[in-house]
Amino acid sequence: MTSSDSNGHTPTQAGERPRVWVIGLDGVPWTLLQPWIDAGYLPALARLQTGGAYGPLRSTLQFLTAVAWSSFITGMNPGKHGIFDFSRRVPGSYDQELTNAARRSGRSLWRILSDAGRRVGVVNVPMTFPPEPVQGFLISGLDTPGLDSPYTYPPELKPAVNDVHFIAVSTVGKSHAHYLAETLEGVDKRFELLWRTIDREPLDFYMWVEMETDAIQHCSWHLMADPEQPNHDAILQVYRRIDQHLQRLVDELPPDVTLVVMSDHGAGPIVKTVYLDRWLAQNGWLHFRRGHERSLGDRGRHAARLAVRQTLYLAQRFLPVGVKGYLKRFTGAHAAIETFIDKAEVDWTQTRAYAAGNLGNINLNIKGREPQGVVDPAEVEDVIQSITKALMELRDPDTGERMVIEVLRREEVYTGPLLDRAPDLLIRWTDDKYIATKDYEGRPDGPLFGHKQKFGRHGAAYALDQTGTHIMEGMCILYGNAIVKGARLVQAQLIDLAPTILHLLDVPIPQAIDGRVLTEVLTPAYAQRPVKREGQSEEVSAVSEFTLSAEDEAEIRERLQGLGYVA
């Protein structure tokens, strides 16, 4: 038997290839993690930090779940994989459709590994539905329509995990205490799924993601400021429950495994909500139809939509779950309610710019590009400069603080063949503490800012407020024989993890990958080994052709709204 190294692991033999396990903790920031590690609340994570390498991990712009995980999965910037939000515009229209793995371009990390003959297991990673064939198995995550859908590869795996796998803990109609209790139970089920799958077969690579970290932060951030609040430690309770489970994983970690614990972005408080459509309207760039500007048909549809909204508000608040589902499926109400841009409320013939996404993106309505574009291509530069100047002058009405630190053009952020799918402008808010949302009521004269935002589309139908949001900086800890104890990550990015994992597993890195190998935390045997690159660049193409049904799309959208991921 070989002796242990300073990390307490038995070293792998010279020339052996390590295995890699990745534990994804969605949305975990260092701002919470480090103080709780230092206070002794998280002994398993403390052990990994002390015995491994660690540091901040810069996410993507925008640092939304769909964008960030797609960038991790491919090692590419969104200009190549084509996912810029949870939804994308349907070509030739102003309609929006949800994104998923079938609408992502580029090879996934597990596809690359499978093509190289490595065995993989992938569990609950967002943006993996529909599940793609791999050498091993895959259980899709957040973008799965439901447990009745074909969410596993191979299909015969589903009966073995269907009793413990779940998509998300719903916020609908629950007190905070109820939601916290279900979230803690959800953490236990997630780890039951981990133990049921991690040793299912010999694997070179295994990955599992915990989503409840992000979800609990969205609705509990405000509680931490007041120790007198019930469940003021809700987020800490979830972190501690995870750490208790991780203790077993660390104790039983095989000597040939390199463990990566990471998050896709960080988290922080929401100081204010900005109604970006309303701001654009009040500045003259977006035009809502007034009552007299609507046709008789539009007026009727507008009245019907208001009635449907009120009906669904009452239904979501008071009706049983089964009745809610019946209403959604058979009245067709979701088709009117669940769109990001209500075409009948916007006068596109006078609109020069409109909001997109949840963190502050703006699209221009360009002539020849949009169906009813009005901005002449020669005027684009002037419009961009005008909007940018106005945003940079935006002030918090309570503090006088500048709210926007940067307005970026898509060409400044992304590169690649899918750049034309990106929003034209991306807003960086001060300290990432403001969140942009859309105004669906078509009233440009309403307030520009809000202090509270309810989960879901129908306001008080959801009991919980959204008080936490995403920030750019996530976290990463690497641990094992391939890792230098005490090393610090230097300007590491989320897209660097895929090439680092490929390097550890001795698999050539595709030319299209944008990230780098994190050699600063690797032992000399791995840091000094030449980085292998695939000889030819590959075409960046979609994984598969797949279209969600209207019912599935409505169900996923409702889930994402209830978790605070989309407006």
Note the pLDDT tens digit of each residue in 499-550.
Answer: 999 999 999 999 999 999 999 999 999 999 999 999 776 655 554 567 888 8
pLDDT (mean) for 128-156: 97
Burial grade of 129 (CB within 10 A; 0-12, 13-18, 19 or more): buried
DSSP per-residue string spanning 41-63? S-HHHHHHHHHSEEEEEE--SS-
For tokens 């190998």, what's the residue? 517
d(CA 421, CA 262): 28
Residues paired with 287 in a beta bridge: none
pTM beyond 0.85: the answer is yes
The predicted structure's pLDDT at residue 464 = 83
For residues 65 and 250, the answer to whether their CB atoms sit within 8 Å is: no
Is the C-alpha dihedral spanning 109, 114, 120, 125 positive or negative? Answer: positive
- Range among 4-18, 62-76, 160-174 rated most confident: 62-76
The predicted structure's pLDDT at residue 533 = 95
The predicted structure's pLDDT at residue 304 = 53
Mean pLDDT of the chain: 87
Could you report the per-residue pLDDT of 244-281, keeping only the tens digit for each? 999 999 999 999 999 999 999 999 999 999 999 999 99
For residues 508 and 531, the answer to whether their CB atoms sit within 8 Å is: no
d(CA 207, CA 495): 16
Task: Identify the structural domains of the chain with CATH numbers, from first to last.
Answer: 19-270+470-562 (3.40.720.10), 272-288+346-465 (3.30.1360)
Is the C-alpha dihedral spanning 265, 269, 271, 272 positive or negative? Answer: positive
Question: How many Cα atoms are found within 13 Å in the side-chain-facing hemisphere of 123?
Answer: 32
Is the C-alpha dihedral spanning 342, 343, 348, 349 positive or negative? Answer: negative
Instruction: Name the token pair of 226.
Output: 């007041």
More confident residue, 287 or 302: 287
Question: How many Cα atoms are found within 13 Å in the side-chain-facing hemisphere of 53?
Answer: 21
More confident residue, 290 or 317: 290
Could you report the per-residue pLDDT of 323-367, keeping only the tens digit for each? 444 444 333 333 333 344 455 589 999 999 999 877 899 999 999
Q: At 291, is the pLDDT very low, low, confident or very high (cuts 50, 70, 90)?
A: low
Is the C-alpha dihedral spanning 240, 264, 83, 268 positive or negative? Answer: positive
The predicted structure's pLDDT at residue 344 = 54
More confident residue, 504 or 307: 504
Within 260-376, residue ranges assigned H as helices are 276-282, 296-318, 321-331, 333-337
β pairing state of 120-125 and 136-140 = parallel
For residues 36 and 43, the answer to whether their CB atoms sit within 8 Å is: no
d(CA 476, CA 413): 23
For residues 243 and 489, the answer to whether their CB atoms sit within 8 Å is: no
Could you report the per-residue pLDDT of 487-498, keeping only the tens digit for each? 999 999 999 999
pLDDT of 12 above 70: no
Buried b (16+ CB within 10 A) or exposed e, 480-505: bbbbbeebebeebbbbbbbbbbbbbb
Could you report the per-residue pLDDT of 417-460, keeping only the tens digit for each? 999 999 999 999 999 999 998 755 556 778 999 886 776 544 44
Distances (CA, A) of 252 to 194, 199, 256, 432: 13, 12, 12, 38
pLDDT of 295 above 70: no
| Cβ neighbours of residue 487 closer than 8 Å, sequence gap 6 or more | 53, 520, 521
Residues paired with 20 in a beta bridge: 205, 258
Within 116-257, residue ranges assigned H as helices are 158-161, 176-197, 212-220, 234-251
